[in-house]
Amino acid sequence: MSTRYVRKSLISSTCNLSLVTEVVRTFCYEVHSNTKKRINKTTTRWECSQHRIRSCKGAVVTDPQVENLLAVTIHSHDADVARVQANKLREHLKTKAATTRGTPGQSISDTTLSTTSKLLFLSDIILISGCKRKIRKPKYYSQSQEDQALFLNYFNSPPICGGTYVEIGALDGIKYSNTKFFEDNLGWGGVLIEAQPENAKKLRRNRSSANNYIISEAVCPDGQHYVNFTGTNAVGGIPDQMTNQHKKHFFSGKRTQTIQVPCRPIGRMLKESGVRAVDFFILDVEGAELMVLETMDWSIPVKVFVVEMGRGDKDKQLIDLLQRKGYKKSLWNIRGFCLEGRDCTNNQVFEHQNYVYTS
């Protein structure tokens, strides 16, 4: 059997029934397991099976509520209707949790309140009637086939609709885009960031839609408001963050313009955009990758990072930071997808430990 990606919890918007069911089942089982450790099974009024959603019964979530939510989620193409049902379930969870305060079921309250965040994705379900479940003759845009690699390794069994991406260094939104394939074929959306003003104008022209939140700024630490930006093409960036080798190779002996652009931490950008969870995060900012991650809001779950490497000592610091946050290098090599004769980017994929491979 081919390798596939298992999304264990905090799954973003999807139009696949089995995945939605799996999240609800996982949620039920986690609540049951956690409460079972603290309270006698007979006093919890909670029974839940890992295997069958129909056996999930108890004081917090009932069969009809779960089945109603799943039915509306899967069969309605009206996102507002799906949100209403999801929010009803969330409010019911909160009410039930609150009413167990001071009773033997208090552990249910604490566990439920702490795990309702796992259902947040349900309040933002967007079902897309145009999602292509069978993609014939796909058109990829990435410089080194990164979009194809991500699709085939993580989001193809079955094709995942309505996911969320973040791309820093989005250029004009078409050339070398790592996200356009996902928007065009699977109805994805997310945050596209481009600091170079001319590229940012083209990005807005090419990719403005209800799916995308476009930001025309650079990333910098909190308290800083502007950075210098050099270059206009795919190798432009913040000169203070570039390696000497990069400057020599791309800018030595050439007339280049350096301008000031506004900037702020990436964490603030993502919070402003309303993104709650990210399926993949593309980070290609010509030497500023570590600085970007140091300004990240880690309360926003990111399943997969794709980071351009080759920055010397910064690489080790970046890997150490990601490892502390629960990430590990992928077992597969994304550079192996680059077509022969192409300018192959030195990328590395990092997966969060909560999202694992199975055969």
The predicted pLDDT at position 159 comes to 81
**pLDDT at residue 114 above 70?**
no
Looking at the fold, whether 264 and 317 belong to one and the same domain comes out as yes
Q: What is the rounded average pLDDT of the residues 225-237? A: 74
Q: Model confidence at 346, in pLDDT bands (50, 70, 90)? A: confident
Looking at the fold, whether 192 and 62 belong to one and the same domain comes out as no
Q: Model confidence at 234, in pLDDT bands (50, 70, 90)? A: low
**Domain tally for the chain?**
2
The predicted pLDDT at position 49 comes to 37
Looking at the fold, whether 179 and 267 belong to one and the same domain comes out as yes
**pLDDT at residue 192 above 60?**
yes
Q: Which is nearest to 241 in space by CA: 169, 325, 152, 345?
A: 169
The predicted pLDDT at position 95 comes to 64
* Residue keyed to tokens 């930006």: 229
The predicted pLDDT at position 50 comes to 33
The letter for the amino acid at 347 is N
Looking at the fold, whether 120 and 158 belong to one and the same domain comes out as no
pLDDT digits (tens, 9 = 90+) for 143-190: 999 999 999 999 887 788 888 999 999 999 999 999 999 999 988 999
| 138 assigned to some structural domain | no
| 302 assigned to some structural domain | yes
pLDDT digits (tens, 9 = 90+) for 30-65: 444 444 444 333 333 333 333 333 433 333 333 334
Looking at the fold, whether 181 and 216 belong to one and the same domain comes out as yes
Q: Which is nearest to 350 in space by CA: 294, 19, 295, 333?
A: 333
| 132 assigned to some structural domain | no
pLDDT digits (tens, 9 = 90+) for 249-278: 455 556 677 889 999 999 999 999 999 899
**pLDDT at residue 92 above 90?**
no
Q: Model confidence at 107, in pLDDT bands (50, 70, 90)? A: very low
CATH of the domain at 212: 3.40.50.150
Tell me the residue range of the domain where 151 lies: 146-358
Secondary-structure percent of the chain, ordered helix, strand, coil, rounded to 5? 40, 20, 40
pTM over 0.75: no
The predicted pLDDT at position 158 comes to 76
What does the alpha-carbon distance between residue 356 and residue 333 come to, in Å, rounded to a whole number? 16
Looking at the fold, whether 200 and 94 belong to one and the same domain comes out as no
79 vs 46, residue with greater confidence: 79
Looking at the fold, whether 196 and 320 belong to one and the same domain comes out as yes
Burial class (CB in 10 A: 0-12, 13-18, 19+), 111: buried
209 vs 78, residue with greater confidence: 209
* Residue keyed to tokens 């020599």: 248
Q: What is the rounded average pLDDT of the residues 118-132? A: 42
